[in-house]
Structure 1
Amino acid sequence: MRPPDALGERLDRLVATAQSEQRAPSVSAAVFRDGEVLWRRALGSADVGREEPATPEHAYRIGSITKTFTAVCILQLRDAGVLDLDDPLRSHVPEAPPGPTVADALAHLSGLQREPPGEIWETLEPPSREELLAGLEDAERVLRPAEAWHYSNLAFGLLGEIVTRRNDAAYEVTLRDRVLEPLGLARTGFHPPGPRATGYYVDPYSDGVTVEVELPVEGPTAAMGWLWSTVDDLARWADFLSTGTDGVLARETLDEMARVRTMVDDAAWSLGWGLGLALYRGGERVFVGHGGAMPGFLAALCVHRPERTGAVALFNTGAGARPETLALELAGAALDALPRTPELWRPDEGAPDDVAPLLGRWWSEGEELVLSWRQGRLRLEVVDGPPGRSVSWLVPEEDDRWRIVEGRERGELLRVTRDGSGAPVKLYVATYPLTRRATAFGGDASE
């Protein structure tokens, strides 16, 4: 797929503007849709000293985007029945402080201090596994669990330790075997093959640059943010976050990861957090993704899951650039320029015989609801209900019992009551009665 010329020019201009105005030695970016990279561009120098031009094939360090990989490894364990999200961290890592759960750690609600004890960002020497675990005795709980969003690399270090212990293998080995290789992410890893960009500190008062120190990979701290990757690999990864893949993680689990657990900015509601995923709201759209920072590198990816469209932006500067802003701008430009053509409606065999009598208008508290059969599924809609919160989709559970699996009142039960002839005369949704005629509470709605 090739983007329209006008869109390609717009994307080129966005990247060139970011590289120039944000003074990045190089920027590598890509836009993808439906599992295919439709545009990519790299500008500037991957290595200033060697005058090496940046290309989309260059790997960049992606920092905390690594946490999305760690989160997938944890959800794999949950889906396999090895752990539960409500388990306390210390039930899997006894050295962990009491209180926060696995889910708290994934959503940055653990209340644990931001970084591992010590001065990792001054010494640039990450703690070993033994040092990390021993240092937990000195770790502060700066907030109560679930009190407020508080970003914690330490919490993800503990999640990395869970991945190690519950898989009986080093974090790096589990990540490679359970995620990277099944998804074909050959250029993503802690020591990826192929060309790599050099990370720089850009002087704020001149145009000089300094090569940053490359931090070593060390134990569970690798789960916090040590990966390298390319725009092509990250586009494939972000698409996976939309669709899931058999043998790695199901779409339904990724749906769970993408649900809001907490808001970062309560007043603006522009940034929330799910299970290991950031949720960015731009207008009516919500993107999932993550940003990343390491010495000499900044990175971001985002994807609009309903449209399976997103973007990646990688910089080889550690300060002054705004990769999340660029990625969202690129994805938004693609969505604006490439509206979907609706699929043609096609008739089918209609509702099953046992479902057809349920369809049509129902009433509850003077509110009209319509039950219909669409594309092989039972659909319940509140007429003139709030946009985005008026539709429920149901699946059969047993005779005359249906479970809401998506949308309004998700998880609740719909029950059917029939008269002596077997005709449906009343429905109950979350115990609220629905009748064929409008009536007040306790009124007679019989025909």
Structure 2
Amino acid sequence: MSGALARYERAARKAQADGRVPALSVALHRADREPWVFTVGDSGNPGHPLGPDTRFRIGSVTKTFTAVLVMQARDEGLLDLDKPLSAYLDLPAHDDATIRRLLSHTSGLQREPHGDVWDTLVSPDADRLLAELDRAERVLPNARRFHYSNLAFGVLGQLVARLHGTTWDSLLTDRILEPLGLTATTTATPAQAAVGYLVDEFSDAARPEPDLDLGGAGPAAQLWSTADDMATWASFLVSPELIDPDGNVLAAATVDEMRWPLTTRDEVNWISGFGLGLMLHPQGRRAMDVGHNGAMPGFLAGVHGRRGGEGTPDALGCAVLGSSGTADQINELVHELLRMAVELDPAEIEPWSPAPPAPREIRSALGNWWSEGSQFVFSWHDGALQARVAGTPADLPPSIFRPLPGRPDVLRTVSGREAGEQLRLTRDASGAVVLMHWATYRFTRVQEAFDGGAAWDGSGE
């Protein structure tokens, strides 16, 4: 066993022991290594001892699948994220909530479906979930702030199912699980299921928890899976271009859209936030853990991938699944393992090699330019014109430009600073670029005031 794998195993064993988790299953995936899967404990299922194929409830990690189904429908033109539910469903209340707000937990809908489902352990079916929306509260105004809602994702799941004329679980299987080969992920309780427990705080006793079917709220938290399947899923959420290169499940650009922060979870401590159905956990130095936590009676799950940061391998995903509803160590371990993977076994550094020069028509635009008193550097790398503020850290992504069709001197900023804005090139009689306008701001070869006067001429005349 390599030193890194031994450290991963020790961290998992410590989390299982300290958290008193009856069964723990852990998986770590990355593009440049074989998957690592480890289990420790006892499944509680006499016919199916704990192993890599043991299934655990993943709770609200289910929401990430429902969010992808919603984005598929958007990309196929079946819905608009900024239209209200009333455009697609006939509902008795709250149909003014937009789909984007439901996805980002900013719709203000109450947390659970109507009724004390956690007392009765009976969840409404799909029809009743929607029919009883008039008995649910809007506990906050739309778009006021983050408020987590299982009800919102139950509604979203039923929405996409009805748009396709099928059920949510059938849609999930056909559109996500089968294309990605997630064969161990199911809505029904599998034979290989671990038993979920409530572990007593004051003794080592553990009581089995009931197996609850969420019915119409299933799109919020119904799924069972293995750590191996979920680490693959985490890898997809951070590197879809590698896990799903043909975009059969979702275009990489759409997954990127889902990862964009739409709200923080706390107004003061900006340590986590939400995109479109995805939890976002900043990790410092431009790294982000992306995924979701999950909880159901007797189970906790953490499923996250890491993007950005020096040394982070491509498609780095991790899943930690445990058969205890009370061990915080389960959700902490997933971030610890991602950190350890980067620190103990960072991605290889690719050697630099020469590449073809910039096209002749772009070469005069390269070099130092000034705007608003600040210096910018325009360069040509990876087949595209790029720009960054002079002196910015190397790990800050540059702005990248692409020419507009039929307009070679007008480029669109496709990523980075001023994304979406135009860059216009002005040439002299010889064809050299002598002036640029980016997002309408002037870019000149020398430092100039807004009236066009040179900075060295302090007279203002």
Matched, 1:412 2:437: no
Matches within 5 A, 1:113-192: 113-191=110-188
Rate the CA distance shift 1:389–1:90 in 2: closer, same or farther, 3 A: farther
CA–CA distance in structure 1, aligned partners of residues 396 and 94 of structure 2: 39
1:69 to 65, 70, 76: 65
* Alignment-derived partner of residue 427 in structure 1: 436
Determine the C-alpha separation between the residues in 1 that align with 2:6 and 2:209: 33
Answer whether contact 1:35 1:239 (CA < 8 A) is retained: no
Structure 1 gaps of 5+ residues are: none
Aligned residue type for 1:410:
A
Q: Is 2:56 the partner of 1:60?
A: yes
The residue identity in structure 2 corresponding to 1:348 is A
1:363 Cα offset (Å): 0.7
Residues 359-411 of structure 1 show CA distances to partners (whole Å, capped at 9, x for unaligned) of 11111122111111101011011102477657211111132111111111111
1:408 alignment partner, SS class: coil
- The aligned counterpart of 1:84 is 80
Match of residue 376 from structure 1: 383
- Cα-Cα RMSD: 1.9
Distance 1:32 1:57 in 2: 16
Q: Tell me, in whole angstroms, the C-alpha distance in 1 between the residues paired with 2:9 and 2:154.
A: 37
Partner of 2:451: 442
TM-superposed CA distance for 1:37, in Å, is 4.8
For residues 249-328 of structure 1, what are the structure 2 equivalents within 5 Å? 249-284=250-285, 285-306=287-308, 307=312, 308-328=315-335
* Structure 2 residue aligned with 1:203: 200
Asked whether the equivalents of residues 409 and 425 of structure 2 are also in contact (C-alpha less than 8 Å), the reply is yes
Q: Tell me the SS of whatever aligns to 2:174.
A: helix
Closer/same/farther in 2, CA of residues 267 and 37 from structure 1, 3 Å limit:
farther
Deviation sequence 1:224-245 (CA, Å, 0-9, x none): 1000000111111111112222
- 1:340 lines up with 2:347 in the alignment: yes
Query: Structure 1 residue 36: deviation in Å?
Result: 5.3
Runs of 4+, deviation exceeding 6 Å: none
Q: Tell whether the 8 Å contact from 2:300 to 2:331 is kept in structure 1 after alignment.
A: no
Structure 2: which 5+ residue stretches go unaligned?
456-461
In structure 1, how many angstroms separate the alpha carbons of the residues matched to 2:63 and 2:70?
10
Give 1:305 shift.
Answer: 2.5
Q: In 1, Cα distance between the equivalents of 2:336 and 2:361?
A: 49
Distance in 2 between the 1:253 and 1:390 partners? 19
Give the whole-Å Cα distance in 2 for the aligned partners of 1:130 and 1:84: 23
Deviation at 1:31, TM superposition (A): 1.4
Q: Secondary structure at the match of 1:27?
A: strand
Equivalent in 210, 222, 225 of residue 226 of structure 1: 222
Deviation of 1:266 after TM superposition, in Å, equals: 3.1
SS in 1 for 2:172: helix
Rounded Cα–Cα distance in structure 2 between residues aligned with 1:432 and 1:387: 24
| Identity fraction in percent | 43
CA distance in 2 between counterparts of 1:405 and 1:194 reads 48
Question: What is the letter of the counterpart of residue 331 of structure 1?
Answer: L
Q: Deviations over 1:16-72 (max 9, x none)?
A: 111111111111111111175532211111016x39642121010100000000000
Q: What's the secondary structure of 1:151's corresponding residue? A: coil
Q: Distance in 1 between matches of 2:393 and 2:105?
A: 30
Contact 1:303 1:310 survives alignment (8 Å): yes
Q: Secondary structure at the match of 1:210?
A: strand
Q: Is the 8 A contact 1:309 1:335 kept in 2?
A: no
TM-score (norm 2): 0.91
* Separation in structure 1 between the aligned mates of residue 361 and residue 189 of structure 2, nearest angstrom: 57
- 1: distance between equivalents of 2:453 and 2:196? 74
Deviations 1:49-108 (A, max 9, x none): x39642121010100000000000000011111111111122222315043211111111
The code of the aligned residue for 2:440 comes to T
